[in-house]
A = this chain, B = another copy of it.
Amino acid sequence: MAKRVIIVGAVALGPKVAARVMRLDPEAEVKLLDRDYIISYGGCGIPYYIGGDVTDLEGLRSTSAHVLRDSRFFKNAKCVDVVHAEALAIDRRAKTLKIRHQPDGKEENLPYDKLVLATGATPVRPPLPGVDLPGVSLVANLHHAKLIKDMIAKGQVESAVVIGGGAIGLEMAEALTDLWGVETTLVEMMDQLLPPAFGPDMALLVKNHMTEKGVRVLLSERVTGILGDAQNGVQAVETSNGEIPCQLVILAVGVRPNSTLAREAGLAVGRFGGIRVDDGLRTSDPDIYAGGDCIEILHKVSGETVHMPLGSLANRQGRVIGTNITGGWGRISGTVGTFCLKVFDFGIARAGLTERQAAAAGFDPVHAVVVQSDRAHFYPSQELMYIKLIADRKTRRVLGIEAVGKAGDAVKGRVDAVAALLHHDVCLEEISNLEVAYAPPFASAMDIVNNAANALENIMEGRQEPIDVAEFLEDFKDGKIRVLDVRSVVQSSPFMEKYGSQWLNIPQEELVCRLDEVPKGEKLCLICGSGPRSYEAQLLLRSKGVKETRNIQGGVGMVKLSDPDFAPSE
């Protein structure tokens, strides 16, 4: 008898499992269940549909050969039956799934040999007054997408508020601002964007870039209610600091795994509410698999399970489930939380743990911030990249990387290379010597990832004594510290003019002859364009007895992006 496979959920992982099962076992009988008639779509593309990069919704529902992935397509091209129904309950002993057909409401018990839960996650709808008003929308499916885009396209939205500074919130803020010119305010209750995936220093670069692009970003601000009425819809968002008038509110405050069906069937569920699975993606019932946004998986660096709702993981997991259902041997050992996003001109990527996450997992994290071009410095066109690398002080194990820059592919490429190694518990030296490809149009001979590891090693060994830009800016503005700028006179002069005696200049190559000009016995911060020359100056000064200096991490490059008002106007 052919194997009966039922898959609950038909967005990303579900269709992948179905197709893989049919390829490996053409005799299988696969039923793909969803309560929605819109299935198998690229949910991650929603901001690009709303922002206009993707013209119509069918683009997100079609194959790369422009064939619509509807029930008919799955029947004809994949020999998979799509069933429009809601899954109500699993009878594990009888191995049946109780479903309710749509739209007629007829109930039925479907027998299965293998069941796959691809139930996804549900966006959190915060319990705010006014959250159900017309004009308030989640961004979780194509219905939401169409509703939002229609409102904008009809000219009903002059200003909008996005609640939540995670990846989707940021992408939505860009989509509204960039093409449509909607006056957009992004409200995040934490004190930084992109918590918890990025450290506050890197997140600040993103915030400043968004501000520059016209998004109003409010941090540490709590939304207390949404104002308006049923007839006219939303009129404003109310926060702890006042009211923000708007006609559209996007809710993007996170998602929770849909595990009710699993839990009610007695399957094990983890601390974030996600279904627990082994490395073959089997639940606690060996005939039931689960994957995608509804599960928890092992984080390879922290050693703890996490909820990581990413389309890329769902697709890879779907293939592994298909392999295992048909008797193959597929394993996914865990995640290191690699992801990237585009926010206006910035590519942003990360993998592993942030410092905060690392400390929570019991490590003693140390970091370096390095700024460097994505090309050989003599190559004509180039963009700066900003990378933060984190390692454990005692073991030197590499724990995480965060990167930002205008050359998005280059930023992603650096993070991907380090991410591959995070699965292998490597120590810092391996990143120092990481064999990334070099040619002047694509990199420096000593790539930024190599230099980030080198800088971090120097910090760990006490050779480089760094100061983070945030601390520097605070102390400098308070008049507590002075700067010794070791760049050229030309580069330094505007800063000396702006900051007077708080900003000194001795070019690095003159330092050895002008040592007597260096102030002693005070906390002196050294700066250059991006960090390496001021590090060299720090070593020289130390060898000459000037030991109290601190090297500003990432130099002027990092300072400029962290505080757009700091540098003299050009």
Q: Which residues of A contact B (CB under 8 A)?
A: 12, 19, 23-24, 26-27, 42, 44-45, 48, 53-54, 59-60, 62-67, 73, 76-79, 167, 310-316, 319-320, 330-333, 335-336, 338-342, 347, 349-351, 373-374, 376-380, 407-410, 412-421, 423-424, 429-430, 432-443, 445-447, 450, 454, 463, 487-488, 491, 508-510, 512-513, 528-530, 533, 536, 539-540, 543
Contacts and interface: CB of A to CB of B under 8 A. Distances in A.
Contacts of A331: 429
Contact of A409 (B313, B342, B409, B434): B409
17 contacts: A23-B539, A26-B543, A27-B543, A44-B445, A48-B378, A62-B378, A65-B488, A65-B529, A77-B508, A333-B433, A338-B435, A340-B438, A340-B442, A374-B409, A410-B413, A415-B437, A420-B436
A310 B311 CA distance: 38
Nearest to A543: B26
A203 to B, nearest CB: 17
Interface centre among A26, A434, A436 (most CB of B within 10 A): A436
A420 B453 CA distance: 15
A164 B378 CA distance: 26
A44 B440 contact: yes
Contact of A445 (B312, B413, B432, B436): B312
A436 B312 contact: yes
Given A435-B336, A437-B339, A447-B312, A442 B412 contact: yes
Q: Which 4 A-B pairs have the closest CB atoms?
A: A413-B413, A312-B438, A409-B409, A340-B437
Given A417-B417, A529-B64, A316 B432 contact: yes
A342 B433 contact: no
Contacts of A59: 378
B64 A373 contact: yes
A438 B312 CA distance: 6
A273 to B, nearest CB: 23
Nearest to A64: B377
Nearest to A539: B23
B445 A315 contact: yes
A349 to B, nearest CB: 5
